[in-house]
Amino acid sequence: MAKKVLIIDDEDAARLVIRQYLGAFEELQIIGECSHGQEAVTAINRLEPDLVFLDVQMPGLSGFQVIQQIVHVPQIIFTTAYDQYALKAFDSNAIDYLLKPYTLERFRQAVSKVLLRPGAAAMEAVKNLVDQAGSNATTYSERILVESGNKMTNIQTTDIIYLEAERDYTRLHTEKKNYLSNYGIGVIVQRLDPRYFIRIHRSYIVNISHIKEVYREDNGILVVTSNNVSLKVSRSYTDDLRRLMY
């Protein structure tokens, strides 16, 4: 009997890669996909998958928060672009992780490892993973290096007003200048402190300290930044923004 698989990632492209790679495993059957943390909790408990591919950073709830809230505990392979602190903890557990971008061969290794693991051991490994990752993944860089022409510029993260996706790249906007990073916005969001940076759209991440005002108009909610740029808030990220409202 085929094992049931649930794919959880807020990036369409990331889910597509997993779907394509799973085509090599006849013993695995995809039963659903999710792009939001809270939706993931509901889907895991309702569908009771045997295996879950779970992104670390998502709107609503992070991957760690998801596994802390689920009742049904499946085998889990984390998929993430965040390679500091947390991944060192992942590496000590039999439940695997995939560091984006990953190859088909690396994918095969992770799946093979999980398929050989009994359910009770998977539950214990997930518990250990949460405990270790929670204690290790709490430090974020206060300064980052981004390309500026033929050199790297040292930027203090507090100076970033917002970040904007530009295809496979990300533009970082500050008061004086903007910079184009070679990393996609899905990678960068996992390297910024979530206490200060909030994703409001697939294309935008905003520094909370630089939110000037939020207002509603006919076609949705808009955030106005400290440099007077209006950014649209997508419906799937509205709950994250509402958590800041009192």
Structural domains in the chain plus CATH codes: 3-136 (3.40.50.2300), 143-242 (2.40.50.1020)
pLDDT at 125 exceeding the cut of 70: no
- Most confident range (mean pLDDT) of 76-80, 113-117, 182-186 is 76-80
d(CA 233, CA 109): 38
In this predicted structure, the answer to whether residue 28 has a pLDDT above a threshold of 90 is yes
146 vs 116, which has greater pLDDT? 146
Confirm if 232 and 193 have CB atoms less than 8 A apart.
no
Contacts of 224 (CB under 8 A, 6+ apart): 211, 212, 213, 214, 215, 230, 231
What pLDDT score was predicted for residue 85? Answer: 37
- pLDDT, residue 218, reads 80
| pTM listed for this prediction | 0.52
Look up residue 48 and give its DSSP letter: -
Rounded Cα distance between 141 and 156, Å, is 9
β partners of residue 34: 8
Is the pLDDT assigned to residue 153 strictly greater than 70? yes
Convert the pLDDT of each residue in 184-222 to its tens digit.
887 787 778 888 899 999 899 999 999 999 988 887 899
pLDDT of residue 82: 66
Q: How much is the average pLDDT of 141-159?
A: 79
- Tell me the three-class secondary structure of 104-154, residue by residue: HHHHHHHHHHHHCCCHHHHHHHHHHHHHHHHHHCCCCCCEEEEEECCEEEE
DSSP state of 23: T
Determine the residue type at 223: V
Q: What is the mean pLDDT of residues 111-131?
A: 61
Q: Please tell me the predicted confidence (pLDDT) of residue 129.
A: 54
Give the model confidence (pLDDT) of 35-79 as tens digits. 999 899 999 999 999 899 998 888 888 887 887 788 887 888 888
pLDDT at 175 over 50: yes
- Judge whether 142 and 56 are in contact, CB under 8 Å: no
User: What confidence score (pLDDT) does residue 152 get?
Assistant: 75
Q: Is the pLDDT of residue 83 over 50?
A: yes
Taking the C-alpha atoms of residue 206 and residue 222, their distance in angstroms, rounded to an integer, is 12
Scan for tokens 């999710």, then name that residue. Answer: 34
Local confidence band at 93 (pLDDT 50, 70, 90 cut-offs): very low
Cα–Cα separations (whole angstroms), residue 105 to 51, 54, 227: 18, 19, 46
Q: Report the alpha-carbon distance of residue 178 to residue 172 in Å, rounded.
A: 5
Chain-centre distance for alpha carbon 63: 7
Quick one: CA dihedral 177, 180, 181, 187, positive or negative?
A: positive
